[in-house]
Amino acid sequence: MKTENNYMDINISGIKLNAMSMVIGIINVSILVTLYIIRWGYDTIYTILNINDASFYIWLIIGLILHEILHGIAYVVFGKVKKSDVMFGINFKTLTLYASCKVPISSIAIVKVCIFPLLILGIVPIILCMLFKELSFLFMWSVFMVALSSGDIYISWIMREYIEDFIFMDKPNEIGFYLMKK
């Protein structure tokens, strides 16, 4: 982190982001699968592990795209930016999809932007799966969506210190962001 006059330049190494995302993902997946087994019994794990249908992988790709679209919607709703200020793309170097914003938004808004896809694609469906046993396909898909949100969870964790007094600005070509005092 480099501090200049009235802003902070926060860089996140790709290795650290991937490592933290992996740790967060493993913890979250372990907790969710354990809760599912406690709720529906150990035999349900075989149903989950036997999902090898090609459609599951198609749904994962659809989930990745929906995840980024939900980030874009959250930028507009929570960040109060115009649709034209939201950018979508693919980083071919890291093979990742992304949604980004061209204009600064509040720190609390970026936390909401990060968490929104997790809630819609992960938490809400998992709650449904805890209510209805027949949804093992949806459960496994939702667990993947939670795991894919691990980087967003990590960014939200970093932002916890800056919620009140800062404006957030994406770095267009790097992993990181700028924080400017309000």
Residue 1 has pLDDT above 70, yes or no: no
Task: Write the CB contacts of 144 (distance below 8 Å, at least 6 apart in sequence).
Answer: 60, 63
Q: Is the pLDDT of residue 40 over 70?
A: yes
| Cβ(129)–Cβ(35) below 8 Å | no
d(CA 95, CA 77): 27
CB atoms within 10 A of CB 125: 19
Spatial distance between the Cα atoms of 93 and 51, rounded to a whole number of angstroms: 30
**Is the pLDDT confidence value at 95 over 80?**
no
Distance, in Å, from the CA atom of 102 to the CA atom of 138, rounded to the nearest integer, reads 34
pLDDT of 2: 57
pLDDT of residue 127: 96
Rounded to the nearest integer, the mean pLDDT of the chain is 89
Structural domain boundaries in the chain: 2-181
| 140-155 pLDDT per residue, tens | 999 999 999 999 999 9
**Does residue 120 carry a pLDDT above 80?**
yes
Predicted pLDDT of residue 99? 93
